[in-house]
Amino acid sequence: MQPWKLSEPDQISEHRDRKPQLCAIPLISFSSESLVTDKNTLYNKPKSKNSGRIVPKGLFLFQTVHYTINSPRIPAEFNGCRIAHLSDLHGALYGPDNRLLLNRIDEARPHLIAMTGDMADEKDRAVPGFIDLCRRLVKRYPVYYITGNHEQSLSADVLSGLLSELRKMGIRILENNWTTISRKGAFLKLYGLVTPMVYYKDPLGEYIKGIHFSAEDTENALGSFDNSCYTVLLSHNPLYYPSYRDWGADLTLSGHIHGGIIRIPGLGGLLSPDLSLFPKYDGGLFEEEGKHLVVSRGLGNNFLVRVFNPPELVIIALQHS
């Protein structure tokens, strides 16, 4: 397998609007939910101009958060390598053609984009909107993507069409496989884990009651861990992080939890999507046994409200230590 060689990002000088923009962070944000009626159509005509999207009116409602991952296993050649971590967009739109989101990504000058699922769902225009975003991103950056439970819930035709479009434009889709990334002669491995729907828990009966996903299950999906190089794992659901850690992943990127939906100061996120109280891996950076987990609180909103919990773009810097 040919490794993907990272180059330094160019300074941005494109057609995008580069005017300074205020990113307002509300205490409470809302979203309108408009589900698609024909799940077998890839490109659905929107019922209204803004249906199925989170469209900020006058205010742009997300923040950019930065984390630095320090590890002696990170090759020194990857010092300063930046990963833009996008998750759980759910058809959100930040300005015309997602211009504000694109601008914020460009300002961070990442070396690669990692998308950890639920970027599209059944809302009107969510799939074509996501395709348009990817088309703009892949012109500038290597983009890696795994599906989440909402993409898996799309009809087979829609999901197949989505993945086909992404592959044609050069998006690297990781489905229980891996790729090698090189920089200045050094290497790391990037894995993508897609867990079947049976491993997602939903007490409301939307899909089957989840069961435990073990380190052995992780190995069955991804193969034996290669201890010879630093490994980054993309996995939508952080619930099973101890299994990913025990398998060997040095850095895991996840989403799914939406920051706990309602954040209580001093306590953290209140609810997970399966309605469990105070999920352990609700959002942010976690370190266990010398390994790291970054959980994005998500860019979109599959629920009616987020409280003290703004959507976020995550930028991760790698550092040998």
92, 8 contact by CB (below 8 A): no
pLDDT above 70 for 16: no
pLDDT digits 0-9 by tens, 229-249: 999 999 999 999 999 999 999
Distance CA 314, CA 5 (A): 22
User: With 60 as the cut, is the pLDDT of residue 37 above it?
Assistant: no
Compute the mean pLDDT over every residue in the chain, rounded to the nearest whole number: 82
pLDDT 10s digits, 257-284: 988 788 888 888 887 877 778 889 999 9
Domain 63-320 adopts which CATH fold?
A: Purple Acid Phosphatase; chain A, domain 2 (3.60.21)
On whether the pTM is more than 0.85, the answer is no
Q: Report pLDDT for 7.
A: 65
Tell me the pLDDT tens digit for each residue of 169-218.
999 999 999 999 999 999 999 999 998 877 776 655 444 445 688 999 99
**Bridge pairing between strands 177-183 and 186-193:** antiparallel
* The pLDDT of residue 91 is above 90: no
Q: Using pLDDT thresholds of 50, 70 and 90, give the confidence band for residue 53.
A: very low
What pLDDT does residue 181 have? 97
pLDDT of 129-156, one tens digit each? 999 999 999 999 999 999 999 889 889 9
Residue 39 is predicted with a pLDDT of 29
| Residues 6+ away with beta carbon under 8 Å from 266 | none
> How far is the C-alpha of 291 from the C-alpha of 268, rounded, in Å?
21
Task: Estimate the crossing angle of helix 126-137 against helix 156-169, to 10 degrees.
Answer: 10
Q: What is the pLDDT of residue 19?
A: 34
